[in-house]
Amino acid sequence: MQEFINMLSPNLEFISMYSNDDCIIFQVQSKIKDPICPYCGKPAQKCHSKYKKSFNDLPMHGKNVVIEIINRKMFCNNPNCSHKTFAETY
């Protein structure tokens, strides 16, 4: 399963898979320990919050496929940064 997830991004790891009558959902999350702030370039260690974002992939076995990413919003540790928080990217 991780091989499939690596095709999306090597920075994601497989968490779980579940399905219902018409959909197969793959849950993934970041493997990045300390994401880099895109505004100042410094690593961040403190998580502000988590949220889910999802997108559809091609159908499989007649069911819709959804990739659900558990995404973190991080605090930037750099006091000189113009942004206090950022959402991690892959």
Longest dimension (CA), the chain: 51
Burial class of residue 37, CB neighbours in 10 A (0-12, 13-18, 19+)? buried
Task: For 46-90, write each residue's pLDDT tens digit.
Answer: 999 999 999 999 999 899 999 999 999 999 999 999 999 999 987
pTM (predicted TM-score): 0.81
User: How sure is the predictor about 38, in pLDDT bands with cuts at 50, 70 and 90?
Assistant: very high
